[in-house]
Structure 1
Amino acid sequence: MFDSLMEGKESLQEMAISQSVGIDSDIKKVILDDVLWERVSSSQKILKPIAAAIAKIEGDGAILSDVQCLFAELKEEIQTILPTSLLLKAEETAVVKSLEQRREFCMKPVHAAAYMLDPKYYDKGILSGEEINSAYAVITAMSDHLGLDKGKVLGSLAKYRTKQGLWKGDGIWQSCQHISAVLGRLTNVRVEKLVGIRANLRLFEPDTEPSSTRLESDTEEEDSELDAEEVDMLLDDDEVQEESTD
């Protein structure tokens, strides 16, 4: 909205100056006031990095490990912009507080775990002690869920953290800077194919589901079939009775 407003600044001011266009004097004064446009420009500078962060996290290339670093970079950028803005000190404090509240709301232990396991963030070191502990908790819980040996999983994690074994060579650390984790994720097309395969496989499965899990439409179709059978039976009975009467 602010981008559009700034793009139309000259047109709006020309319209306000024009005598052929009837504009309220108060509105005209506001449009021609330089303070308005300075404040719009100041607010625009604050909102731009936030809008860019939202666009990145909502994009097709977004991954969990990026969220941690994204918030850290956003906070640093906002704190650099605020001193040059037209906001009061209390307003600057409110902006920083709002950003921190949003971070606390969005960030979950799984983001810390993903960040810890992403080689490209190996030496960034922005995780707090509490976040590291929560990351280990997530990894341990996932090991239990997948039926893996927690000892082996944590042992592999220790080798990764200390660059031992598989992670000892420099080649793997250099390559991770050029390969995105997005390459291994499920794309929309792949998900659609998997759903189609699953739906077709279910056609070959026996109907062992309890009646409570069946679709309502199936029940309605069965009811309509039963009703049709009952009607046929009644018609047959009427014919029999007519024949007996004759």
Structure 2
Amino acid sequence: MTGPDTGVIDRLDRAAPSRRKNRVLVVDEEEALTDLLTLALTFEGWHVETLATGVDAVRVAHRFAPDAILLDMTLPDISGVAVVSQLRDSGIDAPVIFLTGRSTLDDRLAAFAAGGDDYMTKPFGLEEVTARLRSVFRRAGLADTSLLFADLVLDTGTGQAWRNGDPLILSRLETALLRILIERRGDPVDGTGVIRSLGLAGHTVTETAAARAAHRLSEIVDHDAEPLVRSSNGSLWVEAPVAHE
């Protein structure tokens, strides 16, 4: 759900009718494995499609629009590395987790060089696969606990935050302040309001500590990027950058 001109996408409401299931494309020729993965991932509430060949993976990915791809490195037609290269060349940037029985350093380097995001060696536990995918979805803002603003993602369950996919190292106080600013959807909050809101979030702070947290938050979020955290006349808010044509 996106507020008008706010840049905010709120995914906290599990019952929101517009929230589609996260999509996982599984590409592996081992039918027994894909059946198990389908069962486990469907149980998580995700939409799963399975394929056995790399050529089909490249073709179907455009239609299926996956949020993540589980990909065997050794396929019957083309290699998993070639699949990722073709996907990236065609504009599909969904995170790819390689599933493979090969574990040499050269294999891992080739996987990451091609644009893979993670690497799991067979045999592996289904719980580990789902955990890796949950991490991918949190980083992409696709978890039920995700709160988004422009290219900023805050996971309210773990307290983790990312900007444009890069992790932000925030203190608990800075994380609480960031959540307050995003949830206000760009409305400025003055110093007194910051202290009151932090108090409601379980943080008792002085005016000096709140100001220090606000300054530090701005430095971290806006480092080497378009400014999102704004301040003026003692008030603080987040504002989406203006798109340049």
Same-fold status (TM-score > 0.5): no
Q: TM-score normalised to the size of structure 2?
A: 0.24
Q: Whose radius of gyration is greater, 1 or 2?
A: 1
**More strand per residue: 1 or 2?**
2
Q: Which has the higher contact order (CA 8 A, sep 6+)?
A: 2
**More helix per residue: 1 or 2?**
1
Q: TM-score normalised to the size of structure 1?
A: 0.24
